[in-house]
Amino acid sequence: DIQMTQSPSSLSASVRDRVTITCRASQSINRYLNWYQQKPGKAPKLLIYAASSLQSGVPSRFSGSGSGTDFTLTISSLQPEDFATYYCQQSYSTAFTFGPGTKVDIK
């Protein structure tokens, strides 16, 4: 199975901060990398697919980059509604795997 890791596991940030989360795959996954946001008590929501494509309806302050094994999710200006946990997920193999998550909370 392809293992996914994320760093940091948690971070504290302020509104309007620029936030970057990193995801790493145990082998090259090309650009088969998706990002999800999950708020407490809610289902995950797809933010970015194919490493850098913004899902319809997702604010443009979210962006993704990377290919191969290393990927990043960037929030250019953190908003109050962005405090949540973020997960990466690979779809290179149909044995899908998620990263362990990065919790973004208020400083």
Q: Which residues contact other proteins by CB under 8 A?
A: 1, 30-32, 34, 36, 38, 43-46, 49-51, 53, 55, 87, 89, 91, 94-101
> Minimal distance in Å, beta carbon 15 to other proteins?
26
Residues 6+ apart with CB under 8 A from 8: 21, 102
Sheet holding 62-67, edge to edge: 4-7, 19-25, 70-75, 62-67
Nearer to other proteins, 36 or 71 (CB): 36
* Residue whose tokens read 């960037």: 74
Nearer to other proteins, 82 or 89 (CB): 89
